[in-house]
A and B are shown apart, each in its own frame.
Chain A
Amino acid sequence: MAPSRGSAAYKKKDGTLAVSKDGQSVSWTPVAPPRSEPALTLPVSNITNLQQTPATNSKVMLKIFAQASGTSTSETHTFTFTSPTTARAEADTIRDALSKTIQIIKSGGAPPAASGGAGGSSAAMAIASAVSSNPRAGADSRAWYDDEKLKKDVELQQSILKSNPSLSKTFMESLRTKPESISSSQFTAQFWSTRVHLLRAHAIEKNQTRGAYNVLSSIKPMTVDNATRLSISKEQIQLIFNQHSLVKRVYDENVPKLSEEAFWSRFFQSRLFKKLKGERITEADPTDNVLDKYLQYDDDAERAKQLMASHVPHIIDVEGNEQNHSQRKGNQPDLTMRPSSYDRVPIIRTLNSLSEKILSHVAPNDIDPSLPIGVDEETFNELALRDLQGDAAENRVILNIKDQSRFFNSDKGSGVSADALLYAKQDPVKVLRSILSDLARVSSNTNLDTAIGVDDDSDSDYDDESNLKKGHVGSKASLSGATAQMLSAVAQQRAQSDDLSASSSGFSTVQSSSTSGLSAAIFDRLSLTHATTTEFLQHFWSAFLSGDPNRADEIGKLFETLNRAMDRIKAVATDAEAERQKEIEKLKKQVQDLFERTGKRRRMDYESTPGGAKAVDQLLAPTVKAIEVATKQYKKALAQQSEENG
C-alpha cells in the first residue's frame, strides 16, 4: 500500500502532507525549496484528535490536535488540501490512515504488519490478528524479555520467593549474614541478577490464564431446601454469550419483556438448554412457549452461512472439496451427500462445534505466526513457481575454522611438566638399551608363571610390607594393597550412586543414607550454609573480576564474609561432632546396661559411628576449597598491589 499523501497548505504555504511508510508519523514538506526536509513532523502517538470539514463543504481542511508526550498543552495544526480535483479523496485517505494507526496505538498493540492483504484475508486471519493485538499479551510479552524490568519487579520477586521455599531460605539466610557495607537493595540486585531466568519463568507462569471452557456443561443446578437453585456468575454469562450466539440473540429479543432472573431460570430448564448442551430432548421435558421457538434455529447453518458470505465462491473453493471428502479423514464415504440430521448424535456435534469455537479464540502456540494462514509449507512450495525464483540466499553465518595446530606448534615446550623434567635427566640411549635388555629377558623366559612373580605358597604376608622397596612385582603385599584400593573404590562408588542401587541391579540390600549419618537438623543447616556460601562466592567473584575500582571496598567486605562463612562451616562441624559424641555416649550406655543386666560385654566399634565433623568436612570439602582459592586470590592481588604502591 502506497503511503498516503496529498498536497496541502500549512500556514498559507503550499506543501505535501504525507503519512510515513510505517504509519507512525505524519509530516508536511513545503514545496517552495525543492527537496527540502519536512518542516513539520508529528508522531502519530501524539495525536489526540482529528477534525475534518464536512463532505458538503467545498473547502477541504484537516485539523490535527497533537499533544507532545509529557506536556499538557495541545497544539493544533490545520492543513488545507489544495488539489483542485482530488482534494477530498486525499484528505480522506490521510485521515483514514491516521485514525487507523491511532486506534491501534490506543488499544496498545503493534500495528498489523500485513495490512496490505486485508481485502482478501480470511476469517481465520481476522481472528489471528485480533488475538495478536490483544493488548495484554502485547504489553506483557515485552516485559518478559526485559532483564532490567524483571530485576526491578519487586512484586514478582516476592511472589517467586513465596512459591519456592528453598530459594526463599537461601535468600533470607544470605540477607541475614551479608556484610553491613552492602545495602539490602545492592544485595537484592546482585542476588537476582544471577537468577533472571527464574524470574522470567515465574513471570511467564504467572501470566498464564485459563482459557475458555465449555460453560454450559459446568453449570449444575443444586438442590437446596427442596428448591433447585442455580448460581451463575457474570463471567459465565459472558462466556455463554460468546460461545452461543443464539443465546445472545434470544436474550436480546426477550429480556426487556422478561425479567433477567426469569429469563435465566426458564432458560436452564428449557429444551433449548438441553439442545445446546447436546443432550437428547425427550417428551418429558417441559415446554416453554418463548424459548421453544428457537429450537428449530440451526446454529451451525447460520454460522456456515456467515462464513460463506465472506468466503470464497464454491466454484473456486478448493477447501470445500476437502470438507466434503469424508474418506480423507478415515470416515465412511458420504453416500447421501446430505447433511445428517441433528438428532442423531447431538452430543458429538455440539462438542465438535463448541471445541471449534473455543479453539478459534486461542492463539496457536505451535505455529509460526509469519506463515501464510490456511496453507501449509508443503502446499505453498507446491504452488510456488520455482522456475521464476532465483537461488535462495544462504541464510547462514559462515564459521571459519583456522588450523589449531598452528597455535600448538608455535610454543611447543613452553609448558614443561614435572614428568618431562624427570625424563630430560635420563639419557635416551641408555633408556632404550635398558628396556631392550629387559625385554630380552622376558623373551627368553617364556614361562609366565614365574614372570608374574605371584607365589601362591608364599606366606610372607607381612614380611614384604616392611621392606616394600625390595618387594617384587606380584608380591602378596602389593596384591592385597591393590585389592584394598579396588574395594574401597567400589564402596565409595556404591555410596555415591544411590539411584543405581535403587534401579536396575537388584543386588543392593542396604540403602546408603543420603545425609551421611547426620541428623536432619544438622543436614539442613549444612545445606543452608552451603547455599549461602555459594551465594557469597558468586558475589565475590563477580565483584573481584568486574574490574570496577569502585567496588574495591565491597570486595574487602565480601572477603570478610567469606572468612565468616568458613567459621560457620566450622560451627556446623562442631555441632555435628557434639551430636555424634552424644550418640556414642548413648551406645556406650547401652553396652554398659547390657553388661550390668546380663554380664555380657559387647564389643562396639565407636569409631565407625557415622556423622560428625568428619562427615561435614567431607561434604563441604569442595566449598572450603573454593573459599580457600578465593581468599588466596584476593590476598595475592592485595599483596601485589600494596607492593606496587610502595
Chain B
Amino acid sequence: MNAVDGSDHYNKTSDEPPPSLLTIILDTNAHAWALLAPTLPLSAAIANLLVFINAHLAFNNSNKVAIIASHTQRAEFLYPIPSEDDSRQANGSTHNGAQNGLDGDMNMTDGNEANYAATADDANHYRPFRHIQTTLLSAMSKLYKTTSPESLTPTTSIAGALTLALTYINKQSIAFSTTTSSKTNADPLLAPSDPNSIQPATLNPRILILSVSGDLAHQYIPIMNTIFACQRLTIPIDICKIAGDSVFLQQASDATHGTYIALTHPRGLLQYLMLGFLPDQSSRKYLVPPTAVGVDFRAACFCHRKVVDVGFVCSICLSIFCSPPEGAVCLTCGTYLQLGEYGGKPAVVAKRKKKRKKGADE
C-alpha cells in the first residue's frame, strides 16, 4: 500500500548509525595521580583523553560525551557542568525547575546549544572541541581547588560515579527518543527499562572508566548493583586500567561485554584509547575486542570486605562470607544456616586432625 501512494518515503528510517553517548568516568584520586606523575602526569592524561573525545565527536555529528570525576569522596560532573542559573533555580524552588527543563532536573549545557561567550574563540580550533576542553579543564582545577588535603583517601567513589553515569544516560536516552520518535507516541520511560525492545534509532550509550586506584572492596555491593543495572540496559562498561588493582572492574567489563585493558605502557595511553575504546557498540559487533582473556571472578566478603578465593554463601540471601559466620547465623538476613561438614577454618581443622594422628603415633 505504502509503495502505491509513495508514503513509504516518509516512513523510511535513516541508514545512519545511531549516535553514541560516551560517558567517561575519570578516576581523580590525587594520591594515585601523584604517584603516576613520573610516568603519566595527569595533564598528559587529560590531553590524551581530549584527543580521544574529539575523535569520538568527529565520528558522528550527533555523538555525545559526558565526563564524570570519581573523586576521593564524591562524584562530580566535569562535562557537561550544571549551569549556574539552573542550579540556583533548582535549589531555590523545585516548582520553578519543573517548568523549566525536561523533568525538573538541572539543565546541563551541552556543547551544541551552549553559549560560547565564556570561552575565548580560537580560529584554529573547532568550537565544540574547544568548548569541551575549556570546560573540562576549569572543572578539573575547580575540583582540586575545593579538595581539602584531609579529605584525601586511598580510594575513589567509583560506585557513585557509575550511578551518576547511569542517571545521565537514562536522561539522555529519554530526551533522544522523544526528539526522534515523538510521532510514534511511544512512552519514553518504557524504552530504557526493556532491553529487548531496543529500536534501531536509539542512543548507543557506553561507559569508559579510566581507573588509577584500587581498594574498591568496601564498595563491592553498590558497584555490583550498578554493574547489573548496566548489564540489564546493555550498556557496556569499558575499563582502561592505568594503575591500581581491582578485581571488580574486570568483572564489570566482563558482565557487560565491555573491554578491559590493563595498560602495560601507560605512556601510550592515546594508542590504547584510539585502538581499543573508540569503536561504539554497533561497530564492535564486527570486531574482536582487545580485552584481557582471563577474568578474575572473585568476590568480596560481606563481613570483612576482603577479596576471597573460597567463600561461604548464605543460601537465603546470597551474602558472601570469608568464614562461616558465628553461630552459623547469616549476618545479613539472620537465617540459621546448616553448615554440614565444613565447620571451622580448614587449617585449624587439619591441625586438630594431625594432632590426633601424632598423638596416636607417640
In whole Å, how far is B329's beta carbon from the nearest beta carbon of chain A?
11
The interface residues of chain A lying within 8 Å CB-to-CB of B130 are: 446
CB-CB under 8 A from B218, the residues of chain A are: 408, 412
Question: Which parts of B125-174 form the interface with A (CB within 8 Å)?
Answer: 125, 130, 133-134, 137-138, 140-141, 144-145, 147, 149-150, 152, 154-155
Instruction: Please name the residue on chain A nearest to B319 by beta carbon.
Output: A404
A448:B50 contact, CB within 8 angstroms: yes
Bound form: Cα–Cα A408–B303 in Å: 7
B275 at the binding interface (Cβ < 8 Å): yes
Say yes or no for B190: interface residue by CB 8 A criterion: no
**B265 contact from A415, A453, A481, A546, Cβ within 8 A:** A481
| Chain A: minimal CB distance from B281 (Å) | 14
Residue of A nearest to B341 (CB): A546
Q: Please indicate the chain B residues that have their CB under 8 angstroms from the CB of A446 in the complex.
A: 122, 125, 130, 133-134
Residues of chain B lying within 8 A (CB to CB) of residue A231: none
Binds B, one of A102-110, A127-135, A208-216, A437-445: A437-445
How far, in whole Å, are A500 and B284 apart by their CA atoms in the complex?
A: 13
Q: Choose the segment among B7-15, B31-39, B92-100, B176-184 that binds chain A (4+ C-beta atoms closer than 8 Å).
A: B31-39
Q: Residue of A at shortest CB range from B213? A: A419
Taking the closest CB of chain B, its distance from the CB of A496, in whole angstroms, is 6
On chain B, the residues within 8 Å of A633 by CB distance are 346-347, 350
Q: Is A642 an interface residue (CB 8 A)?
A: yes
Whether A440 lies near B276 (C-beta < 8 A) is no
Interface centre among A414, A438, A494 (most CB of B within 10 A): A438
A59 to chain B, nearest CB (A): 59
Is A489 among interface residues, defined by CB-CB distance under 8 A? yes
How far is it, in angstroms, between the C-alpha of A420 and the C-alpha of B72 when the chains are bound? 13
Question: Given the complex, which residues of A lie within 8 Å of B268, measured CB to CB?
Answer: 474, 478-483
CA distance A422 to B349 in the complex (A): 37
How many inter-chain residue pairs (CB < 8 Å) link A and B?
261
Contact B355 A452 (CB under 8 A): no
In the assembled complex, B229 has its CB within 8 A of some CB on chain A? no
Q: Which of B216-273 contact A (CB under 8 A)?
A: 217-218, 221, 244-245, 261, 263-272
- CB contacts (< 8 Å) of B264 on chain A: these are 481-482, 485
Cβ of A481: which chain B residues have Cβ within 8 Å of it?
Answer: 264-265, 268
- Nearest CB in chain A: distance from B301 CB, A: 9
CB of A401 within 8 Å of the partner chain: yes
B102 within 8 A of partner (CB): no
B200 within 8 A of A: no
Residue B328 lies at the interface, judged by CB distance under 8 Å to chain A: no
| Cross-interface CB contact of B353 among A452, A474, A486, A551, cutoff 8 Å | A551
B353 near A482 (CB under 8 angstroms)? Answer: no
Q: Is B22 an interface residue (CB 8 A)?
A: no
Query: Any chain B CB within 8 A of the CB of A290?
Result: no
Residue among B44, B155, B267, B304 making CB contact with A451, cutoff 8 Å: B44
CA distance A473 to B267 in the complex (A): 4
User: 1/0 contact trace for B272-307 toward A, CB 8 Å?
Assistant: 100110000000011011111100000000111110
Tell me whether A640 and B47 are in contact (CB under 8 A).
no
Give the complex CA separation of A452 and B155 in angstroms.
27
- Is B344 a contact partner of A547 (Cβ separation < 8 A)? yes
In the complex the two chains form, is A439's CB within 8 Å of B137's CB?
Answer: yes
Residue pair A479, B292 in contact (C-beta under 8 Å)? no
Distance between Cα atoms of A434 and B41 in the complex (Å): 10
What is the minimal beta-carbon distance from A433 to any residue of chain B, in angstroms? Answer: 9
- Nearest Cβ on chain B to A417's Cβ, whole angstroms: 5
Cβ contact within 8 Å between A419 and B154: yes
B316 A399 Cβ-Cβ under 8 A:
yes
Residues 335-362 of B, flagged 1 when their CB comes within 8 A of A and 0 if not, give: 1000001111011011111111111000
Instruction: With A439-B141, A479-B270 as known contacts, state yes or no: A453 contacts B30, CB within 8 Å.
Output: no
| B34 closest partner in A (C-beta) | A431
CB atoms of B341 and A493 under 8 A apart: no
Let me know if A475 and B267 touch, CB within 8 A.
yes
- Per-position 1/0 for A145-168, Cβ under 8 A of B: 000000000000000000000000
A483 CA to B261 CA, complexed, in Å: 12
**Which of chain A's residues have a CB closer than 8 A to the CB of B341?**
542, 545-548
Q: Is B215 an interface position by the 8 A CB rule?
A: yes
- Taking a contact as CB atoms under 8 Å apart, the answer to whether A547 and B347 are in contact is no
Partner of B35, one of A399, A400, A422, A640: A422
Residues of A within 8 A of B213 (CB): 419
Q: Is A636 an interface residue (CB 8 A)?
A: yes
Q: Is the CB of B356 within 8 A of A644?
A: no
Whether A438 pairs with B276 at a CB distance below 8 angstroms is no
CB distance from A186 to the nearest CB of B (A): 16
Output the least CB separation between A266 and chain B (Å).
64
User: What's the Cα separation between A472 and B305 when bound, in Å?
Assistant: 38
A429 to B150, CA, bound (A): 9
Alpha-carbon gap, A636 to B349, bound state (A): 12
CB 8 Å contact bits of B26-57 with A (1 = contact, 0 = none): 00001111110101111110111011001000
Please indicate the chain A residues that have their CB under 8 angstroms from the CB of B269 in the complex: 473, 482
- How many angstroms from the CA of A420 to the CA of B244 in the assembled complex? 10
Report the minimum CB–CB distance from B30 to chain A (whole Å). Answer: 5
Do residues A442 and B350 form an inter-chain contact, with CB atoms below 8 A? no
Residues of chain B lying within 8 A (CB to CB) of residue A474:
44, 48, 267-268, 270
List 19 additional A-B contacts (Cβ < 8 Å) besides A448-B47, A493-B293, A545-B349.
A412-B218, A435-B33, A438-B43, A439-B141, A448-B50, A473-B44, A473-B267, A483-B268, A486-B276, A489-B293, A493-B288, A493-B290, A497-B288, A546-B349, A547-B352, A547-B353, A633-B347, A633-B350, A637-B350
State the B residues within 8 Å of A (CB). Answer: 30-35, 37, 39-44, 46-48, 50-51, 54, 122, 125, 130, 133-134, 137-138, 140-141, 144-145, 147, 149-150, 152, 154-155, 213-215, 217-218, 221, 244-245, 261, 263-272, 275-276, 285-286, 288-293, 302-306, 316-317, 319, 331-335, 341-344, 346-347, 349-359
A-B CB proximity, top 8 nearest: A482-B268, A478-B267, A451-B47, A637-B350, A420-B154, A428-B149, A442-B43, A481-B265
Q: Could you list 23 examples of A-B contacts with CB < 8 Å?
A: A399-B316, A411-B304, A415-B305, A419-B214, A419-B245, A420-B154, A422-B35, A423-B152, A428-B150, A430-B34, A432-B149, A436-B144, A436-B145, A446-B122, A448-B50, A448-B51, A482-B269, A485-B272, A489-B261, A545-B342, A547-B352, A549-B355, A645-B359
